[in-house]
Structures are given as structure tokens and as C-alpha cells.
Amino acid sequence: MNERLGLRTALLVALLLAFALRLYRLDYQELRGDEVFGYFFSLRPLAEIVPATVELEEPHPVASYYLQHAWLTLLGNDGAGRSEFSLRFPSAWFGLLAVALLYALGRQLLRPAAALCATLLLAVSPYAIWHSQDARMYSMSLALTTASTWLMVLWLQRQWRRLAIAYVVVTLLALHTHYFAVFIVAAQNLFLLIRTVQFPRLRLTFVNWLILQITVAFFYGPWLWQVQGILGRYGGNGDSPGLRAMLWRALSVLVVGESTPAGQRLWWAWVAGLVVVWGVVLLWRQGARGQRSLLLLGLALVVPLGATWGSAWTRPIFNERYLVAALPGFYLLMGALWPRGRWENSATAVLPVQSRVYPAWIAQGVIIALCFGGALLALP
């Protein structure tokens, strides 16, 4: 009971911290170019948003514009309703929702303390905070893709009809928020395909899962058909990095954001990579349940990173902001590093007996340093 109360208290603190950091100086900067475009685009009547998307060849789907239109209508036409704070508040709210959903997903896959550790990391993530203070769709995309994976895990456990409906609705919303949400859907399908190959008894589950995917494709397909020319002609506003450059840019930005000096980002990339690899080792050594979680989290990290990088091979569209859907897999793998009550039950199996005391302190120190260092870097 005391442990459960402690976890709930810590979760509440993490959520309050996440919300405070996302609201802190939310209106400090004037609206940036993309935010201004989104604001004026959302002022259109609802019936004109889709035709305008096609006519102007806007390379993003329309869910976030519909939401912003509804939000602006709710706020009214007074000055407060058009302030930087009010325009960015939905992103801050979705950022908080993403933190809560990460904990819910983590509780299904990891130990409670490890899920809480990952939640704290996301709460203070400079990268996540930046997008939570940006009046664009990336924070919304993070929340919806996290919710989609969480609902998938719940559906695999229970296969209730209401979970299936919720999964289809949330996944469609995610796909209508950002096209790269499809990479998370691909990771989900790869996970269940691999599990079915490993365990043929899951064939019926896989067939039922395919029905859900066909349903998603049925409702999403007409939109893709309408905008296929836009997606094909989009030239991008990023670059086409090599594999090594992509890895250090991705790992560093997921930990400390984009404002960190270039000279420090390579070091942060090494730290992040080592911590993630260590978390992978610990999950692998936890047996069947840990390996199942590792497969899902690994795919949730590798597929978005690899697919985003691969999509930039023929045109310069790689941009760090497109990696937002990889955050849950990244931080949950890092959270897996958090030691058990007795460290000997997990990590010491791969370390000499004489050094059993030190890895726990090193792991905790690295994670705490990343948390507080990241929070400091995130502040303007």
C-alpha cells in the first residue's frame, strides 16, 4: 500500500512538473513562421480547410487545423483569445497528455518504477517541451501515437470490441495529424507479425488485428488518394544526412533538444546510446516478458528513426521535429535502466560480483543527470 501510494504521489508530481514546464513562459516568444501559417490557415471555415489543403499543397493533414479552428471559435474574437499563450495552450495540453499516456503504456510493459522513471524523463524533456510550446501538430501527434500503441497493447491482452473501436479511432486521428504516424502503425504491425511467427498460436489474434488494420486503411485510404500528388511533389525543407549523422542528431535531440551547442550534442548522443543499450540488455535478461516488451519498444524507436531517415534518401526532408513519435520507445528503453529494489536481481548478472554496488549508482546518476540537465537546458 505504501509503495502504491508513493508511486501515485510521484506520478502526480511528474505530471504537475510536466505541465508547469510546458506552461512556463509559453508566450515568451512571438509566433514563429509555421505557427503564423497554422493560425491563419485555421481561421478558414471548416468546409474550406480540406479544399485549401489540396489547393495550397499543404504537406500536413488537417486534424490539427480542425482542432485549432474549434479552439479559436471557443476562445472568441477578443485579444486574449488570439494571444501566443492561448494559441499554444492546446499543444501544452497534448504534451501533458503524452506524459500521462507514456506512464500508462509503461505500466503495461515495464516495472512501475521503470515506467515512472521514463515518465519523469519525458516530463522534463527539452525536445518534448519545445514541441509542447509550439502551436503546431507535433505534440498532438506524440500524444495520439502513444495512445495508439497503448490501446494496441490493451487490445492484445483483452480483445474487447470497445478497445478495438478506440484503437481505430485514435489511430485514424494520429494519421490525420501527421503522415509520419504511419511509421508507428508499421512498428505495431511488425511487432505482431514477429510474435505470430514466433508463436503460431497467435494466428487468430493476428487475423483479428488485420481486420483492424483494414478498417483503418478503409477510412484513411480516400484521404491518401486525394493528397497523393501533394506528397509525391513535396520537396522538403530539411536535409539528407548519412546514417552516422542521423544517429547522433536523433539521439542527442531526443535527450537535450535542438538548442544544445553542436559541440556538446555528440557527447549527449553517446550518453543516450549507452543508456538505451544498457536498458536493452536488462530487458533481454528479464525473460519472456522483458523480451516481449523489448521487441515492441525497440521497433517503436527504430522504425520511426529508420523510416524518417530513409524517406530523406531521395529528397531533403529529414528534420528532427519529425522524430517526435520515437520518444515513447526511446524513454521507456531508458527507463528500463532504473534499478530494482535489489540490483542483484537484474543488472548484476552481466557484471562481476565485486562491482554490484556501483552500477546502480551509475545508472541512477546518469538518469537523474539527464532529467535535471535536460530540464535546465529546456528553460529559456
Residue 221 lies in a domain: yes
End-to-end CA, the chain: 40
- For the stretch 93-127, pLDDT in tens is 999 999 999 999 999 999 998 999 899 999 999 99
As a whole number, mean pLDDT of residues 278-300 equals 93
pLDDT digits (tens, 9 = 90+) for 6-61: 888 999 999 999 999 999 989 888 898 889 999 999 999 999 999 999 998 899 99
Model pLDDT for residues 183-231, shown as the tens digit of each residue? 999 999 999 999 999 999 999 999 999 999 999 999 999 999 999 988 8
On the question of pLDDT at 313 being above 80, the answer is yes
Q: By the 8 A CB rule, do 314 and 239 touch?
A: no
In a domain, 238, yes or no: yes
Residue 368, pLDDT > 80, answer no
Residue 79's pLDDT band, with cuts at 50, 70 and 90, is: low
Within a domain: residue 339?
Answer: yes
What integer best gives the mean pLDDT of the chain? 88
Question: Within a domain: residue 178?
Answer: yes
What pLDDT shows up at residue 246? 94
The answer to whether position 55 is within a domain reads no
Q: Categorize the per-residue pLDDT at 377 as very low, low, confident or very high, splitting at 50, 70 and 90.
A: low
| Residue 350 forms part of a structural domain | yes
What is the per-residue pLDDT for 351? Answer: 36
Cα–Cα nearest to 332, from 105, 179, 160, 147: 105
Range of the domain at 180: 99-378
Instruction: Indicate whether 148 belongs to any domain.
Output: yes
- Picking from 85-99, 104-118, 132-146, 331-345, which range would have the lowest pLDDT averaged per residue? 331-345
- 278, 215, 223, 273: which is closest to 248 by C-alpha? 273
* Phi (first) and psi of residue 320, to 5 degrees: -60, -30
Question: What percent of the chain stands above pLDDT 90?
Answer: 66
pTM: 0.92
Cell of 93: 495540453
Query: Is residue 347 over pLDDT 50?
Result: no
Quote the pLDDT of residue 193: 98
Any domain includes 261: yes
Q: What is the mean pLDDT of residues 325-343?
A: 81
pLDDT of residue 235: 81
Number of domains in the chain: 1
Local structure of 339: helix, strand or coil: coil
Q: How many CA atoms lie within 13 A of 310 on its CB side?
A: 8
pLDDT at 379 over 60: no
Confidence tier at 373 by pLDDT (50, 70, 90): low
Going by pLDDT thresholds of 50, 70 and 90, the confidence category of residue 267 is confident
Nearest to 149 by CA among 368, 13, 298, 321: 298
Q: Residue 219: count other Cβ atoms within 10 Å of its Cβ.
A: 15
Looking at residue 342, what is its pLDDT? 42
